[in-house]
Structures are given as structure tokens and as C-alpha cells.
Copies of this chain bind each other. A is one copy, B any other.
Amino acid sequence: MSLQKIDFSGQIVSYLINEPFNSLEKFYPTDKTLILTDETVYNLHEAKFYGYKVIKINGTEKSKNQATIDDIISQMLKLSIDKSWMLLGVGGGVITDMAGFAASIYKRGIKLGLAPTTILGMTDAAIGGKNGVNVGVYKNMVGTMHRPTFILFDFSFLDTLSKAEWINGFAEIIKHACIKDANMFDELAKHNIDYYLQNRNAIASLIEKNISIKTTVVLNDEFETDERYLLNFGHTFGHAIENTYKLPHGHAVSLGMVIAAKISEEINNFYSIDKERLIELLKQYDLPVSIKIDVNNAYDLLKKDKKSSGDGINFVLLNKIGEAKVLKIPFIMLESLIDQIL
């Protein structure tokens, strides 16, 4: 177990790494903690929630919308939650995002705690203060920045995580490797999902490394003017297709990384052999590398992206494995690139 205190623009976020869930009571009073979780996590871990007030929602991407937030807010009012309470999100990225958004707008903001239960949540969604809900098929179109008081990483949640969710999480880990850590890329290439499934020390150490990568990037550029933007690698195209084609987030990001690698090859001198290494690695972790989609539709969705502005979109490209950059691609060029690549 370790405690790290991270200073995000003057607000301290405590990382409780490899800390059992039941030690939470040391960090905030149980009788002032309202848990937001989903049915699956609740049913698997009911005993952990004893003594807490709990709101259970459907934690799927489909329900990550304003209607669910309205429902959470109205339950919070019924429970007479006031500003002395903390809302604690316990679940995957959908739950931690919705907990963050609800906590940020309820009575103009109450305290937030996060206990991510998935690899994706631990290495990505729970870190950095961003939250959001979807509007129709558009991902995270509404949201805020709201930093948690603490994030508790209890790796024992991974024992009950489905293999499909493990695979999802590795998409973000591979993303981190691509943009920031060539050594981690090589390490990942030596193993596969089953290795990490069976080796608790290896997955714990891998997750800690990814917590550190994401945190460092966010600290360097909390308001995403620059370096943080690189975390969008694979996400621009990924977000455009995720909800339209009802893909798991990791699958969408995997496909987005393949597209971004191909565009990098076309216009950024990214080596073809490295593109192939990335495609092989994604396959090795059971992630998809091609999909049949409607090109025009994908292109229209890209134009609605949060990252689009004026006549183009800021796209994250790879220089090489472990190093990325942002390039503004005019829509007209993007259209012909997508046409050519897909």
C-alpha cells in the first residue's frame, strides 16, 4: 500500500494505491459518504458497501447520459444529501465519470471520491479530474473538471473483472505505451492478457506505471493546451465510432489507434514497420484492428468532436513508438485520408 499526494493546481488529490476498500472509513466518515455504483459491482461486492448509503444505477455506456444524472440528483435530494457529504464513485469509467459530473453540479459542487474497479478506470478514466456524459451518440459532450479528494485503487476488484473488461483496459495501456513509453511497449509485446490475468504482481506493477504516466501528463498540462492532448491518441476516431457502432471503449480506441497510425504513416513519416508492430500488439491483446463502417458517417461524426474547431481537427499522430505529436488536419484533407485508409 502506498499513499501519494498529488498537487493539481493547488488542490491535493490523495492516491491510495493498493489499498483495501474497507480502509475507506479512515479517509472520510462512512455516515457522510454516499456511494454511486452499478448493479454488477454491487452484486459482486455487496458486503463491502455495508453501512453506506448507496445509489445503484445502470453503469453501461448507453446509460451515460443526462437522464441518468437527473435520476442521481433526484435520489440525492431524496436522501437529503448536503454539502458536508462526499459522493464516492465505485465502478468503471462510466460510473466514475457520472459520479464526478453529479458531484460537480449538485448544490454547485460537493466532495468527490473515486474507487475505480476496472483497469480502464484505474489507468485512465479516474485520473485527471475530467468527467462527462454523452449526448445522443456524441461522447462526453457535457461535463466538467472536478477533482476528487482521493482515488482508491483496490486491485482486488480486478479478481471479479470479466476478461472482456481486461481487454478494454489494455487499449488504454497500449495507448500510453505508444505516446510515452517505448520500453513499456516492448514489455507488453513479450506478454498477453492471460499472463497478466495470472500474475497479480505483474498487473499491479503495470497499473502503477500507467497511473504514473497519466498523472505526469496531466500535471504537465492540466487544462489540455498541449501535452495532455496527446492522451487523445486513438480517441478522435474512436469516439466518433464508439456509440454509433455500439463498441466497447477499448475496441473503439484500438480501431482509432490503427487509423491514427495509418494517418501517421501517410503524413508524419511514421514507419510502416512500427505501424505493423502496433497492429500486432493490439491483436495479441485480443483487440480489434479493422471494422466495416460507413465512411461518410464517420467523417460527419468527427466534425462534431470536442477537438474540432473551425475548418479542421487537432489529430494526435505518432512520430515513433513512444512519441506523439498534435497536428491540425483540415477537414478536406482528413476526408480524403479516411477515404484512402478505410
Q: Which residues of chain B are near A80, meaning CB under 8 Å?
A: 303-304
Q: Contacts A80-B304, A109-B144, A303-B80; is A70 near B66 (CB within 8 Å)?
A: yes
Q: Which residues of chain B are near A308, meaning CB under 8 Å?
A: 82
Query: Whole-angstrom distance between the alpha carbons of A297 and B95 in the complex?
Result: 35
The answer to whether B109 touches A145, judged by C-beta atoms less than 8 angstroms apart, is yes
In the assembled complex, A83 has its CB within 8 A of some CB on chain B = yes
Tell me how many chains of this kind the complex includes.
2
Q: Which residues of chain B are near A140, meaning CB under 8 Å?
A: 108
Q: Would you give the 0/1 interface string for A93-109, flagging 1 where the beta carbon is closer than 8 Å to chain B?
A: 00000000100111111
Q: Which residues of chain B are near A77, meaning CB under 8 Å?
A: 135-136, 138, 141, 304
Within the complex, the shortest CB–CB distance from A297 to chain B, in Å, comes to 16
Q: Which residues of chain B are near A104, meaning CB under 8 Å?
A: 144
Which residue of A80, A105, A106, A136 has the most chain B CB atoms within 10 A of its CB atom?
A105
In the assembled complex, A306 has its CB within 8 A of some CB on chain B = yes
The answer to whether B143 touches A84, judged by C-beta atoms less than 8 angstroms apart, is no
Q: Which residues of chain B are near A309, meaning CB under 8 Å?
A: 82-84
In the complex, besides A74-B135, A77-B304, A80-B304, 7 extra interface pairs with C-beta distance below 8 angstroms are A73-B135, A77-B135, A77-B138, A83-B306, A107-B141, A108-B132, A109-B145
Chain A interface residues toward B at CB < 8 A: 66, 70, 73-74, 77, 80, 82-84, 101, 104-109, 130, 132, 135-136, 138, 140-145, 303-304, 306, 308-310
For this complex, 12 residue pairs linking A to B, each with C-beta atoms less than 8 Å apart, are: A73-B141, A73-B142, A74-B135, A77-B304, A80-B303, A80-B304, A83-B306, A101-B105, A106-B142, A108-B145, A108-B306, A144-B144
